[in-house]
Structure 1
Amino acid sequence: MSTEVNSSTKFDERSRRQKSCDKRWILSRLRAGPLSLRIPPPEEIKECIATPAPVSISVTVDQQYVDKISDDLQILWKVESNTEYFDKNKVQLTLKNTGLQILEGKNWELYFDTPMMVEPDFLPDTQANLGDQGVKIRHSKGTHYIISPTDKFIDLMPGTERKIQLHLSFWTISRTDSFPNWYLKFYGFDPRVINNTAVESLDYVSQLHTPKQWKRATTDKLNPFTAQERYRRYFNEYRTNNKDTKISIIPKPVFIRVILGGGDVTVDSAWLIEYTPNLLSEATYLKDEAGINLTNAQPTEKVIRLIVGGVVHPNTNENLENGEAYKLEVNAATKEIEITGKTKTGVFNGIQSFLSLYSMGGVISTLTIVDQPRFQYRGMHIDVGRNFHSKSSILKLLDAMAMVKLNKLHFHLSDDEGWRLEIPGLPELTELGSGPYTPNSGSGYYSVADYQEILRYASTRHIQVIPEFDMPGHARAAIKAMEKRYNNLVKSDRNADAEEYLLHDPTDKSKYWSVQFFDDNAVSPCINSTYKFLGHVIDELIKLHKDIQPLKMYHFGGDEVGKGAWVNSSKCQELSTGKRGLNMAAWEDGMMKAGKPFNISDPTSKDSYAYIWNNIWEWGGAAHAYNLANAGYKVIMCQATHLYFDHPYEPDPEERGYYWAPRFTDTKKTFSFMPDDVYQNIDFTRFGDPLDQKTFCKDEETCPTLTKPENIIGMQGHLWSETVRTPEELQYMIFPRILAIGERAWHKADWETIMDKTERDVQIDMDWARFSKSVGLRYLFRLERLGIKYRISPPGGTYVNFAILSNC
């Protein structure tokens, strides 16, 4: 089915004949050589128009032609307006022919990606014919769209361009809303990437200069920061007066005492590390990081001793029972340093605090630090399903996580776009599900050896790896891989084997669209082969983890299942899924229905972990965290308004990222998050309108009371990778925001208990001064040593009393 769309671009018969004449004229000049190509003189145009019939000229299409036209065709993408309509925006697409080949109106398709639905009045259900613009558009899957010519397409001649008016759903307010690597396909030939789109700099996307381009509506309060606004946001009168950066550690310890007059020690390569055999791994790590040798002797000076033992708080004489607690003592008089941990993990945490002090030249004051974390779960989530990220990038991330005492890597290993881990016995998952092995981020996976190296690296750093294979939604890559397996085995007359791991019900006629515009990404829960598949995957995961880091938690995803999936599956009538008893982890969507948690009162059930992300205040999700905790779930705070690092640092169209939750999240916003009282984080709507807790929390249903605070067990940062394709982009989006996650997950700040917002904001600014100065003086240097390219904020600036003041 096709639908005509009105277009402002009209071509009458005279203009058609003019184009035909131009084509004939240009071709005649091309035959004479490129130097003869010039604008036709008026008398030749007049004579040409008088010609009663156009001359038919054919273009020979071969692979060389395809290669050349793809090099010479330029794409220009320009956002025209986001404020003209309520639920869609206008984009101008320009096709510019800079070469000497003609792009005829037949036998080609132009493929491109954008996260917004193109021509939403018609797609995805039907194709849209863009009237006299001479093209039609259809939706493939997800973010993938195809433009092809109609019989009204006028050949694109050398030196000319064609403007096409598009409408996209909702908003297009960031340059990263257009994905690179558009490609051109001619029937019967290999497709080729359009050369000017093969750039991560997105030079083919015009800058957004006006409010109607960067605002989502006329009511949108948010604009790109000016230098003055940035200066005011980050101005801090306390920063220059902060004196404790010499001993400042991120995350901030529970107790620090510097002995006045106690002197300093300078730790250098002459020092030795004394350890017991059970601490060999921790001692070796310290040796590698600090360049200090190990010893089996018992030196009396210039020694760092690693000890597992009791940790006592100096002020209260309380024995700290937390297994991650540690004590770090530096004695300049005896030239001794002792790191005592409640367990080996506690010793490792103490080593991280020592390395922070050591990083500035090895000079450390006489002091005592006693410390333990607020949360047992302190994590970072990374999505390698949408775009694959290399083993090297993951290892660097683990190094940085250890530096700020994060202890959980939530590894999102599959999504609609890709399956990223080799599973023995199911080679199709990586043969098809991981992409065609081309050198781009859309393809790739971790081999068994790769994954086990990641596990060993994480274990050395006392980080638990939590694998996630997202189901039943977000599972297209797995579904298609198992469909390939099925088809191959059926061709070999092995029908029983073919159905063994099938993930979709061929009789299911359900119609649905997922949030990301897939209509075939939901695993069927109503066929036995689904559970056979899951059992096989989990069994293989157990084997991969065994003897390195025993698998303790499996995250099954459970989020964003397309409405209507499975409702017409005949298999559901034949098979009961049985009692719901998930002893695993899932996003909040997988643990509740219509805002109500599933019952987990079964005493034989293990802990169920709910990851709470959907707290968009005006959407009504603020209650989810406490409802699930009160129902007995162990809750991980993942609130998208503060903890999603795939969102921009600033409300600027030049900043990378999505903006469906907050318009922006900078490091200070993450630093200011209060996980113990989620309602105190209520601040603004997505459009920048102010909110406050008193007005927002109008009743118990909107903001239920937390009755089981012991079930709030941690928090984590998140990087979803739809717009993140390179190692540099990954590091830009994570760093330095991850440092704020480390701070808040480990340390509960005094200002978190202040109920008066004005006073609390003053105390936040004071604490931010300490934190941000420590980041600048100590931790950016340490990130550089890891080879991490972090983001530096553009400078703020203002003009006061004939002086220019700046900050960043």
Structure 2
Amino acid sequence: MTAFSVIPQPVSLTPVPETCTLTADTRIRVTHGPGEAVAAWLATLLRRPTGHHLPVVASSAPAVGDTGGDIALLLDDPERLGREGHLLDIGHQGVRLRAHTAEGLFRGVQTLRQLLPPGVEHAGARPGPWTIPGVRVEDHPRFAWRGVMLDVARHFFAVDTVKRFIDQAAAYKINILHLHLTDDQGWRLAIDRWPRLATYGGGTEVGGGAGGHYSKAEYRAIVEHAAARHMTVVPEIDVPGHTNAALASYPELNPGGRAPDRYTGIEVGFSSLDAHAEITYRFLGDVIDEVAELTPGPYLHIGGDEAHSTDPADYARFLARAQRIIGERGKTVVAWQDAASAPLTRGALVQYWRPAKGSEPDTRAARDAVRQGARVIMSPADHAYLDGKYHSGTPLGLDWAGHVGVRDSYAWDPATLVDGVEEQDIAGVEAPLWTETVTGAGDIDFMTFPRLPALAEIGWSPARGRSWESYRDRLAAHGARWTAAGVAFYRSPEVPWAG
């Protein structure tokens, strides 16, 4: 078992033959400015288990030398490490974390918490000592997009559950939360100009449960919570397929004016907006207006997948107008790989979701996207999907793309996945959690952990030097952390769990 079980693996980690122990006298020192919020977050994290007061002391220029046993957060590092890069030094003099931005400090704090004993994740006070091994870390990410997707349409999850999911992902330097807000089974966000989308279209879910939706205030609360963890929310309004909830809510969106029944199954590809009806684009414009206003991030995901009931020419027609609507609202278009069959707005992001060992038409979609000037988000279903069964006996999940064991989730590289799609063509990686079989926080835990950390390391760490053996041993130490935090993770036999 490695003494430094840090995930994602840093660019550089050098042990120092010293230690630092947090005591009742330890302070968190920070430069006045945006780093103060990170210091306050760290204090909240550490006070609960340690029982120490850990006062936050802000000043114009904390000393950069010996920290006197304190934790010092400094916004003074050169720009060479980028927005998320950081330097972390731990020794007898204390902890010194340096970055160019508050986001870099926040990422570095996640490394610091993983160097502390597992009890730091516990909800209540624990006995010490709170000793941290001496180390020097220099770190920055490989890819800018390191995402996780939560499908709240197939099953609905309350705001507190989503916030918990954000906190869990942020611990592994995930910086994108993709929320799949609409599908055949439910519409999950209140839209003032089309209120029945949420009140009626949101009133069910897979299996016929009560469903639910987020008010605008609740959605803002999710966005603000994510922002406090330096995570960008990417909302998805899935069109022109996966739209039965919308069609059931408003008869006028249907040719002939007759609405279908609400849907509670898990089949796909049977619904479609009408690409020739002007009301379709009025509806879409109104929805995008309100979603864009609620979402300060630069991206808006329009789905575009599995539109099997849409004629290909109509699909291209619809996508052209949908992309224009999004661009006019100042947002960057994100879409599933199916959208590459139509002309794409230059600068769009296309999400590859078919299996890595998929058919030639699947991989061609990624190449077509790059040829059109788009960049690719890699989410191969047989490696990155968090809803895949671990094995045939797994009680939750689907197996259409095969089984996704813990090693499967780690043993791939975005830059070698698809011929003709190279590193410079890739925006990053994302792990989707579809929820046809996932109904609560415990299910989310079970399907997400231990697989999400693998995706986090693939997105953050350099490709050179990664190995399953090193990762497996580092991952094993995280079981004790998840147990302390109350995470109901899957104890995969592929990993020699500690404790």
Q: Could you state the TM-score of these two structures normalised by the residue count of structure 2?
A: 0.85
Alignment of 1:515-664 (within 5 A): 517=267, 521-545=271-295, 550-563=296-309, 565=311, 583-593=332-342, 598=343, 600=345, 607-615=347-355, 617=357, 619-620=359-360, 621-650=362-391, 652-662=392-402, 664=403
For the pair 1:278 / 2:34, whether they are aligned, the reply is yes
Displacement of 1:565 in angstroms is 5.0
Alignment of 1:352-363 (within 5 A): 352-360=110-118, 362-363=130-131
8 Å contact kept, 2:382–2:408: no
Displacement of 1:579 in angstroms is 10
8 Å contact kept, 1:376–1:714: yes
8 Å contact kept, 1:731–1:789: yes
Determine which of 297, 303, 309 is the counterpart of 2:70: 303
In structure 2, do the counterparts of structure 1 residues 591 and 438 end up closer, same or farther at CA, with 3 Å as the change threshold?
closer
8 Å contact kept, 1:305–1:339: yes
8 Å contact kept, 1:257–1:367: yes
Residue in 2 aligned with 1:254? Answer: 11
SS at match of 1:649: coil
Amino acid of the residue matched to residue 223 of structure 2? L
Amino acid of the residue matched to residue 331 of structure 1? G
User: Size of the alignment, in residue pairs?
Assistant: 464
8 Å contact kept, 2:243–2:273: yes
Structure 2 spans left out of the alignment, 5+ residues: 48-53, 119-128, 259-264
Greater relative contact order (Cα 8 A, min sep 6): structure 1 or 2? Answer: 2
Residue in 2 aligned with 1:397? Answer: 165
Displacement of 1:525 in angstroms is 2.0
Displacement of 1:735 in angstroms is 1.1
8 Å contact kept, 1:417–1:442: no
In structure 2, do the counterparts of structure 1 residues 518 and 560 end up closer, same or farther at CA, with 3 Å as the change threshold?
closer
Residue in 2 aligned with 1:324? Answer: 84
TM-superposition CA deviations, 1:268-325 (whole Å, max 9, x none): 34211111232221111111111132113668512111111224xxxxxxx6242111
Q: What percent of counterpart residues are identical?
A: 27
Q: Distance in 1 between matches of 2:428 and 2:495?
A: 34
Q: Distance in 2 between matches of 1:468 and 1:551?
A: 13
Q: Distance in 2 between matches of 1:553 and 1:320?
A: 26
Alignment of 1:447-486 (within 5 A): 447-483=215-251
8 Å contact kept, 1:255–1:369: yes
Amino acid of the residue matched to residue 290 of structure 1? L
Alignment of 1:73-222 (within 5 A): none
Amino acid of the residue matched to residue 631 of structure 1? Q
For the pair 1:736 / 2:450, whether they are aligned, the reply is yes
Residue in 1 aligned with 2:262? Answer: none
Residue in 2 aligned with 1:769? Answer: 469
SS at match of 1:328: strand
Displacement of 1:567 in angstroms is 8.0
Residue in 1 aligned with 2:51? Answer: none
SS at match of 1:320: helix
Displacement of 1:673 in angstroms is 1.4
Displacement of 1:368 in angstroms is 1.2
Q: Distance in 1 between matches of 2:333 and 2:319?
A: 20
Determine which of 195, 202, 217 is the counterpart of 1:434: 202
Q: Distance in 1 between matches of 2:226 and 2:461?
A: 22
Displacement of 1:564 in angstroms is 5.2
For the pair 1:421 / 2:189, whether they are aligned, the reply is yes
Q: Distance in 1 between matches of 2:487 and 2:359?
A: 36
8 Å contact kept, 1:323–1:342: yes
8 Å contact kept, 2:320–2:344: no
8 Å contact kept, 1:616–1:661: no
8 Å contact kept, 1:437–1:443: yes
In structure 2, do the counterparts of structure 1 residues 784 and 366 end up closer, same or farther at CA, with 3 Å as the change threshold?
same
Determine which of 3, 19, 42 is the counterpart of 1:264: 19
8 Å contact kept, 2:174–2:231: yes
Displacement of 1:654 in angstroms is 4.5
Determine which of 90, 93, 96 is the counterpart of 1:338: 96
Q: Distance in 2 between matches of 1:268 and 1:532?
A: 61
Q: Distance in 1 between matches of 2:297 and 2:321?
A: 25
8 Å contact kept, 2:410–2:454: yes
8 Å contact kept, 1:400–1:783: no
In terms of fraction of residues, the more helix-rich structure is 2
Determine which of 441, 448, 457 is the counterpart of 1:727: 441
Amino acid of the residue matched to residue 285 of structure 1? W
Q: Distance in 1 between matches of 2:319 and 2:397?
A: 42
In structure 2, do the counterparts of structure 1 residues 447 and 788 end up closer, same or farther at CA, with 3 Å as the change threshold?
farther
Structure 1 spans left out of the alignment, 5+ residues: 1-241, 312-318, 484-501, 509-514, 680-702, 753-766, 798-805
In structure 2, do the counterparts of structure 1 residues 789 and 269 end up closer, same or farther at CA, with 3 Å as the change threshold?
farther
Displacement of 1:419 in angstroms is 0.4
8 Å contact kept, 2:344–2:374: no
What RMSD over aligned residues (CA atoms) do the two structures have, in Å? 3.2
Displacement of 1:556 in angstroms is 0.5
Q: Distance in 2 between matches of 1:296 and 1:343?
A: 16
Displacement of 1:523 in angstroms is 0.9
Residue in 1 aligned with 2:406? Answer: 667
Alignment of 1:19-30 (within 5 A): none
In structure 2, do the counterparts of structure 1 residues 568 and 250 end up closer, same or farther at CA, with 3 Å as the change threshold?
closer
Q: Distance in 2 between matches of 1:565 and 1:645?
A: 31
